[in-house]
Amino acid sequence: MAVVRVIQEFPDELEADLAEFFNVDLLDLWHGRLSLRRIGVLIRSLMAKPGRSTLLMAMDKRTAWTEPDYMLARISDALELSNYLFLKANLDASDAHGLELPPPITRPGETEPQPDPVHGHFSDARELNTFFGRLTTA
C-alpha cells in the first residue's frame, strides 16, 4: 500500500506537512482518530503543492520549484544566451576571445555541470608522418 510506504519512508516530512497544511497530527493514526484512507487523501492533496510541500520535495528534489520557477529559469537562460550571442557577433575577435558561453541555471535535483576533462595526447613525429603519408597516397 502506497500510504504505508510514504509513512515508513518519510515520516518527518509527512508529519510536518499534515500539521502545516491541514492541522492534522500524524499520531492521531495510532490513537484511532485518523484512518489510512484519510491520510491517503491528504497525501494526494500534498502532491499538488510543488514548491511548498516538504514531503513532495523529499520524494523528488525537482518539485522544490513550481512551474513558474522553471519557466523563469528557462527565460533567464534564454536571455543569457541571447546576450552572449549578441556580444559574440558584435565584438572584435580579440575582445570576444575570452567570452564564455553562460552556464544554465542549475535546477533542483540536477548536479552542477562539470567541465569535460580533456582526454588525449599529442602525436609524435612518426604518427604525423604516417597520417600525412596516407593522405598523399590516396
Written as nine digits, the cell of 40 is 491517503
pLDDT of residue 93 exceeding 80: no
Task: Summarize pLDDT for 71-86 with one digit per residue, the tens.
Answer: 999 999 999 999 999 9
Q: CB–CB of 107/62 below 8 Å?
A: yes
Q: State yes or no: pLDDT of 1 exceeds 60.
A: no
- Residue 99 confidence (pLDDT): 83
DSSP string, 14-73: HHHHHHHHH---GGGGTTTSS-HHHHHHHHHHHTT-TTT-HHHHHH-GGGGS-HHHHHHH
Residue 62 pLDDT greater than 80, yes or no: yes
Residue 98 pLDDT greater than 80, yes or no: no
Stated pTM of the model: 0.61
Compute CA distances 74 → 68, 98, 106, 116, 130, whole Å: 10, 25, 11, 23, 49
Which range, of 11-20, 36-45, 107-116, averages the lowest pLDDT? 107-116
